[in-house]
Amino acid sequence: MTQRVELATVMDRLAVDELITEYAVAVDDGDWATYRGLFAPDGRADYRSAGGIEGDAVEIAGWLAESMELFPMRQHLIVNRRVRFGTLEHDTGDTAHVQADYVNPMRFAGHDGGSRAPDFVCGGRYAFVLVRTYEGWRLREVVVREKWRHSPERQPATP
């Protein structure tokens, strides 16, 4: 492998990593315009394993905007990112597959129990498929595979 190819691979890995981070920040901040812009025109997402829907980026952004109103505080972390650049069929390296774990603490709207701890935490694994476009790397597919969820018991208020 030449230095030029190695540098291009490093640059692609950084761009892919940035896109995944932008995805997490857009969801956590409720920035649905940015969320939609992260997807390729044919991009789709599947949140069914977490009780959601499957659809194109516009449908999913609408569903997320509505369902995330329940959780005004959210901060999901995407970790253990495994990136593989594509060699499927006639692919020339313009696709990437990313597998990454997530942990997502959230607080329900109206929570006033005095605790700063989340009311709800879930975790699982994402499967992302990315494609290189003229605008840069974009999401073609996002599949959420929720593995667990926990809703801590609320402690009774002390007088």
**pLDDT higher at 117 or 71:** 71
Which of 55, 53, 59, 64 shows the shortest CA–CA distance to 23?
Answer: 64
Going along the chain from its start, the domains and CATH numbers come out as 3-150 (3.10.450.50)
Q: Which amino acid is at 142?
A: V
- Residue 113: φ, ψ to 5°: -75, 0
**Mean pLDDT (whole number) for 142-148:** 97
Residue pLDDT, tens place only, 47-81: 999 999 999 999 999 999 999 999 889 999 999 99
Confidence of residue 9 (pLDDT cuts 50, 70, 90): confident
Residue 33 CB contacts under 8 Å (≥ 6 apart), including other chains: none
Q: How far apart are CA 9 and CA 153, in angstroms?
A: 46
What percentage of the chain carries pLDDT values higher than 90? 70
**pLDDT higher at 113 or 52:** 52
Residue 61 CB contacts under 8 Å (≥ 6 apart), including other chains: 32, 35, 36
Is the pLDDT at 156 greater than 50? The verdict is: no
**Mean pLDDT (whole number) for 144-157:** 77
